[in-house]
Amino acid sequence: MPRGELAMGSLETVCWLKGCLVYRFLLFIIWLSSFQDVAAHDKLNEHSSRSTTSELANPPGIGVSGPIQVSPSVIPKYASPALPWTPPMYPTFPDTYEPKLTGKCPTDFQAISSVIDTAASDCSQPFAALVGNVICCPQFVSLLHIFQGQHNVKSNKLVLPDAVATDCFSDIVSILVSRRANMTIPALCSVTSSNLTGGSCPVTDVTTFEKVVNSSKLLDACRTVDPLKECCRPICQPAIMEAALIISGHQMTVGDKIPLAGSNNVNAINDCKNVVFSYLSRKLPADKANAAFRILSSCKVNKACPLEFKEPTEVIKACRNVAAPSPSCCSSLNAYISGIQNQMLITNKQAIVCATVIGSMLRKGGVMTNIYELCDVDLKDFSVQAYGMQQGCLLRSYPADLIFDNTSGYSFTCDLTDNIAAPWPSSSSMSSLSLCAPEMSLPALPTSQTIKNHGFCNGGVGALRLIVLVFLLYVVVVRH
């Protein structure tokens, strides 16, 4: 295995190597209605000019990996409650119920019930926005692909008519909501019923598809997708793109259906990718198709930082000429990072990208010293922090799901809880960052317990506490 893959593999297995604590966050409940909107103690909420990482990620779409780029959830900042504070001990969860369907969608939903259940859990009411980028939207899009391919296996069509698509899309959302999913999923994931129709793709049936596409080659490439190799040495992704390009460039005459050169625009290609996904869903078992689609999604989401930043003006001012640990510099950096921690949960690879993006902004502003090292900034500092604890949760870069249990509630596993140092970029440009580059290596694990420099997670703003999210946290110690 190339060094680059070994490096990224070490990111996933670092907890095994060090026998560290693996934190399982259980019973997260959003009680938005129980909190009054109060003014924050800091000025992190000021509407200043914002710099986003839109150049790192494509706009939401349902292409190769579905509509993954999700706008960060807007969670207001609230003042900390007066201590002592105790979380509620007897939370309640929404009840499931029989959904009211349109009766106009001729589909056996039971045939894909396992995929529907997974989507409902992954997009649960409390967490849909919090895990939308990494878990919810990838699974919801995968469900739509599979539904599109298997909605009527007796038919030769790979897409749905507009009217039927509208009814079926409504039924899908109704079923998910009836199983505790968040009703805002379509807006969160930027998906509509038109994604089931084939759009402007000229090839929409199995017969024509198999005439122009090497379907055996496509199925061989995507039947089993290797999560360790696909993102850096893709096999399925180029096969899907090749098939989409072929069918997007074939428009048929009404009479003899002879292929003619056609429009090769971006919309047609994206629409044709949906048709390719539909074909794969028709030919592969639902569980295999879902696993493959989720891996393809993970390849996409891990390439970009989904967080939204404002210009780090105050950090640049406090840290531009710093060469040694500085309380004012570290306090300013801490305040800045605290302001972005509450947006959403991100993966360990996304944390690397986010840290590099912010570091590049700081270098561009004249901060040449590695202030991440001076202020002991870790990768987990860029993700949501547990209430009352200075511990961040980074999700695995591989596909994961939320698990619901009637007794314990929702749970998921946080990965990489060791204090892995955030990487400082070598330049102000993002062009050199590659999670697959052979020369890339992870920051070294700390060899001893170090004392945090004064200013970070102390005084001033301090560690951001998410009062909007009531974290009922159980710590599970697992030694691998």
Q: Which of 24-28, 139-143, 161-165, 335-339 has the lowest mean pLDDT?
A: 24-28
Q: Give which of 113, 200, 117, 206 is closest to 154, Cα–Cα.
A: 206
Instruction: Delimit the domains of the chain by residue range.
Output: 112-252+262-302, 313-411
Query: What angle in degrees, to the nearest 10, is found between the helix axes of 286-301 and 236-248?
Result: 100
CB 129 within 8 A of CB 344: yes
* Candidate ranges 243-257, 402-416, 433-447; pick with highest mean pLDDT: 402-416
Q: How sure is the predictor about 15, in pLDDT bands with cuts at 50, 70 and 90?
A: very low
The confidence score (pLDDT) of residue 114 equals: 95
The confidence score (pLDDT) of residue 389 equals: 55
Q: What is the DSSP string of 27-91?
A: -EEE-GGGS-----SSSTT----EE--GGGSPPS--SSS-S---PPP-----PPPPSS----SS-
The confidence score (pLDDT) of residue 432 equals: 57
What integer best gives the mean pLDDT of the chain?
A: 74
The more confident residue out of 320 and 1 is 320
The confidence score (pLDDT) of residue 111 equals: 92
Q: Is the pLDDT of residue 87 over 70?
A: no
The confidence score (pLDDT) of residue 266 equals: 84
Tokens of 312: 């780090």
Q: Which of 173-182, 260-269, 296-305 has the lowest mean pLDDT?
A: 260-269
The confidence score (pLDDT) of residue 414 equals: 80
The confidence score (pLDDT) of residue 221 equals: 97
The confidence score (pLDDT) of residue 48 equals: 39
Q: How sure is the predictor about 405, in pLDDT bands with cuts at 50, 70 and 90?
A: confident
CB 404 within 8 A of CB 125: no
pTM of the shown model: 0.73
The confidence score (pLDDT) of residue 259 equals: 42
Query: What angle in degrees, to the nearest 10, is found between the helix axes of 215-222 and 266-283?
Result: 80
The confidence score (pLDDT) of residue 196 equals: 96
The confidence score (pLDDT) of residue 336 equals: 95
The confidence score (pLDDT) of residue 319 equals: 95
The confidence score (pLDDT) of residue 409 equals: 76
Percentage of the chain modeled with pLDDT above 70:
65
Tokens of 113: 């019930």
Tokens of 475: 């710590």
Torsion sign, CA atoms 459, 30, 32, 397:
positive
Q: Which of 139-143, 264-268, 307-311, 393-397 has the lowest mean pLDDT?
A: 264-268
**305 burial level (CB within 10 Å; 0-12, 13-18, 19+):** buried
Residues 449-459: what's their mean pLDDT?
38
Chain centre distance of CA 449: 32
Q: Which of 142-146, 261-265, 270-274, 469-473 has the lowest mean pLDDT?
A: 469-473
Q: How sure is the predictor about 123, in pLDDT bands with cuts at 50, 70 and 90?
A: very high
Alpha helices (runs of H) in 213-347, residue ranges in sequence order: 215-222, 236-248, 266-283, 286-301, 313-319, 327-341
The more confident residue out of 69 and 410 is 410
* Candidate ranges 88-97, 241-250, 409-418; pick with highest mean pLDDT: 241-250
The confidence score (pLDDT) of residue 388 equals: 52
Q: Is the pLDDT of residue 329 over 90?
A: yes
Q: What is the pLDDT of residues 137-158, one digit of tens each?
A: 999 999 999 999 999 888 999 9
Q: What is the pLDDT of residues 95-120, one digit of tens each?
A: 889 999 999 998 999 999 999 999 99
Q: Is the pLDDT of residue 417 over 70?
A: no
The confidence score (pLDDT) of residue 267 equals: 86
8-state DSSP, 194: G
Q: Which of 3-17, 113-127, 318-332, 457-471 has the lowest mean pLDDT?
A: 457-471
Q: What is the DSSP string of 1-21?
A: --HHHHHHHHHHHHHHHHT--
Q: Which of 12-21, 133-142, 277-286 has the lowest mean pLDDT?
A: 12-21
250 strand-pairing partners:
261
The confidence score (pLDDT) of residue 31 equals: 34
Percentage of the chain modeled with pLDDT above 90:
50
The confidence score (pLDDT) of residue 214 equals: 96
The confidence score (pLDDT) of residue 94 equals: 73
Query: What angle in degrees, to the nearest 10, is found between the helix axes of 162-178 and 137-150?
Result: 130
392 strand-pairing partners:
385
The confidence score (pLDDT) of residue 304 equals: 92
The more confident residue out of 66 and 250 is 250
The more confident residue out of 418 and 246 is 246
CB 340 within 8 A of CB 45: no
* Other C-beta atoms lying within 10 Å of the C-beta of residue 34: 11
Q: Which of 32-41, 168-177, 308-317 has the lowest mean pLDDT?
A: 32-41
Map tokens 């930082």 to a residue: 305
Q: Is the pLDDT of residue 131 over 80?
A: yes
The more confident residue out of 50 and 339 is 339
The confidence score (pLDDT) of residue 311 equals: 93
